[in-house]
């Protein structure tokens, strides 16, 4: 699991990460999809939904926010953290995804090649980076239902989650959405552990869940914390339901061939890039 290593009290100022998400090339007019095709709505209606979404985001409330020290202990970035280099890495990831992804909001899956690759912390911090923008909101969905990590990282203990929702039609979407303690960031936890999730992630209910979450807030960006792509067919099924995929390769634990095989499994049209994680020479703590 990604939180197996001891958590440092602070993040070192020289922390870094090797990031390859392709060239940061702005989209041209030829790359843009018409509003009607992208959202199924007329342009005027889409603008109305965006305005309403902004108003709803401004009204989002949390019972408490995690303190700066708590965020550092949990290895979660914040806007006022001392080590801006760490936060800027995830800001850059967010920017690259916004430039290369579909217009409006989209769904990004984060997966490691092997277990213990740090995908959960990468996914959580990427979601936090999207939530930095006060005009946007983000949601992270824990889809690693055999070895969920986000509950422990965020110190939450919800009674229900994703698997409960997919298994029980009487459970509503609002029943499985929880605050994270991070402004404008919500979570859908994994829920009851399951050994096999294939029937869940290939279900119509799962696809409808993603669609409904996107439609509810046009400025909400979904991040899926997925099981390892190299060890689980579930991750391949989730990739089909997402717009973009970020692949986490733990330094020293995978070969170039394993990276190539995982990239091929995702496909060039889905793969946003590869994050090299836990490189010892740069003392990255995740």
Rounded Cα gap, residues 194 and 203, in angstroms: 15
pTM of the model: 0.77
Mean pLDDT for the chain overall: 78
* 98 closest CA partner among 17, 24, 35, 170: 24
Task: Calculate ∠ Cα 114-264-117, nearest 5°.
Answer: 15
Instruction: Tell me which of 27-41, 180-194, 206-220, 237-251 is least confident.
Output: 27-41
Strand order in the sheet with 185-188: 18-20, 271-277, 244-250, 107-112, 220-225, 137-142, 185-188, 178-179
pLDDT (tens digit per residue) in 117-146: 999 999 999 999 999 988 889 999 999 998
* 100 closest CA partner among 26, 1, 15, 196: 26
pLDDT (tens digit per residue) in 251-264: 888 999 999 999 99
Percent of the chain with pLDDT over 90: 52
CA of 267: how far to CAs of 98, 127, 203, 263, 274, in Å? 19, 23, 21, 6, 13
Instruction: Determine the pLDDT at residue 24.
Output: 33
What is the CATH number assigned to the segment(s) 18-22+38-282? Answer: 3.40.50.300
Q: Where are the domains of the chain?
A: 18-22+38-282
C-alpha torsion sign, points 8, 10, 12, 15: positive
pLDDT at residue 285 above 60? no
pLDDT (tens digit per residue) in 144-164: 998 899 999 999 999 999 999
pLDDT (tens digit per residue) in 31-60: 223 333 333 444 444 545 444 444 444 445
């Amino acid at each position: 699991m990604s939180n197996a290593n001891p958590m440092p009290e602070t993040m070192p100022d020289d922390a870094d990460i090797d990031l390859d998400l392709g060239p940061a090339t702005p989209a041209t007019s030829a790359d843009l999809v018409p509003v009607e095709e992208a959202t199924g709505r007329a342009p005027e209606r889409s603008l109305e939904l965006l305005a309403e979404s902004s108003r709803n985001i401004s009204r989002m409330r949390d019972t408490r926010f995690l303190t700066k020290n708590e965020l550092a202990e949990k290895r979660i970035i914040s806007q006022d953290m001392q080590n801006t280099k760490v936060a800027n890495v995830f800001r850059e990831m967010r920017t690259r995804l916004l430039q290369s992804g579909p217009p409006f909001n989209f769904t990004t899956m984060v997966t490691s090649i092997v277990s213990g690759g740090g995908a959960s912390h990468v996914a959580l911090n990427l979601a936090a980076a999207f939530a930095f923008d006060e005009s946007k909101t983000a949601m992270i969905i824990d889809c690693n239902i055999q070895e969920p990590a986000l509950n422990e990282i965020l110190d939450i203990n919800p009674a229900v989650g994703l698997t409960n929702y997919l298994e029980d039609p009487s459970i509503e979407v609002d029943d499985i959405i929880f605050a994270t303690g991070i402004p404008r960031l919500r979570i859908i936890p994994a829920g009851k552990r399951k050994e096999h999730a294939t029937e869940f992630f290939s279900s119509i209910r799962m696809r409808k869940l993603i669609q409904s979450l996107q439609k509810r807030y046009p400025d909400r960006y979904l991040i899926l914390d997925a099981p390892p792509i190299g060890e689980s067919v579930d991750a391949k099924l989730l990739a089909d339901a997402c717009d973009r995929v970020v692949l986490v390769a733990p330094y020293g634990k995978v070969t170039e061939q394993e990276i190539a095989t995982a990239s091929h499994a995702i496909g060039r049209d889905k793969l946003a890039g590869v994050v090299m994680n836990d490189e010892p020479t740069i003392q990255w703590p995740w």
